C-alpha cells in the first residue's frame, strides 16, 4: 500500500534538502539515512534543480555522464569530473580529522571542506571541488537530454 505524501506545515520553509527528500519519496526512493547532528545544523546545500517535464530521469546529453558523488547522484558532468569525484570519494576518509572535531566525526582536516554535492554529501575535499560541485548542480538541468 502506498504511503500518503507528507505535506509541510503552514509557514514551514521548503529547504533544498526537504524538497529532495520529498521528490525521492514520490519517486519511490527509500529515506532511511539521517544526517549527523552537526550536519543538520549546517547551512542549506544547493540541490540540483528539478528535471524538465520532457526529459526522462537520468538521461545525460552526449558528452556527459552521471557524477556519482553519492548513491543516487544523477547530476550530469564531464567524464573528467566524474573521475575526480570518484578519486575524492576514495580519498575522503583520509581527509577527516582523526577523532572528529567541532562538526562531529565528519569534521574535515584543515584545508578541506565538505563537498556538499547533495544534502548528505560530507566528503572532505579542497574548496575548489565544492565550488565545482555547486556549479555542476546549478548547470544540471542544462545537461539533460531534451533540455532546450
- Residue 108 resides in a domain: yes
- Residue 126 resides in a domain: yes
> Is 67 within 8 Å of 77 (Cβ atoms)?
yes
CA proximity to 124, closest of 83, 87, 73? 87
- Residue 1 resides in a domain: no
| 54/73 Cα distance (integer angstroms) | 20
Higher model confidence: residue 10 or residue 26?
Answer: 10
| 141/108 Cα distance (integer angstroms) | 30
- Residue 90 resides in a domain: yes
- Residue 17 resides in a domain: no
The reported pLDDT for the residue numbered 148 is 73
Number of structural domains (the chain) is 1
- Residue 11 resides in a domain: no
pLDDT digits (tens, 9 = 90+) for 120-131: 999 999 999 999
- Residue 72 resides in a domain: yes
Output 24-33 pairs: Cβ under 8 A, ≥24 positions apart.
24/72, 27/57, 29/72, 33/120
Which residue range(s) make up the domain with 134? 36-143
pLDDT digits (tens, 9 = 90+) for 60-98: 999 999 999 999 999 999 999 999 999 999 999 999 999
Say whether pLDDT at 103 is over 70: yes
The reported pLDDT for the residue numbered 47 is 58
> Is 55 within 8 Å of 145 (Cβ atoms)?
yes
Model's pTM, two decimal places? Answer: 0.62
Amino acid at each position: 500500500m502506498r504511503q500518503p505524501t507528507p505535506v509541510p506545515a503552514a509557514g514551514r520553509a521548503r529547504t533544498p534538502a526537504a524538497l529532495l527528500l520529498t521528490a525521492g519519496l514520490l519517486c519511490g526512493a527509500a529515506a532511511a539515512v539521517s544526517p549527523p547532528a552537526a550536519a543538520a545544523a549546517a547551512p542549506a546545500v544547493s540541490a540540483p534543480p528539478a528535471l524538465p517535464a520532457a526529459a526522462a530521469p537520468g538521461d545525460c546529453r552526449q558528452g556527459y555522464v552521471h557524477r556519482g558523488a553519492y548513491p543516487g547522484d544523477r547530476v550530469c558532468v564531464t567524464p573528467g569530473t566524474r573521475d575526480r569525484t570518484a578519486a575524492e570519494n576514495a580519498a575522503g576518509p583520509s581527509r577527516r580529522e582523526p577523532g572528529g572535531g567541532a562538526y562531529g566525526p565528519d569534521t574535515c582536516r584543515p584545508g578541506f571542506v565538505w563537498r556538499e554535492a547533495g544534502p548528505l554529501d560530507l566528503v572532505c575535499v579542497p574548496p575548489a571541488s565544492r565550488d565545482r560541485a555547486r556549479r555542476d548542480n546549478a548547470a544540471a538541468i542544462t545537461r539533460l537530454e531534451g533540455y532546450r
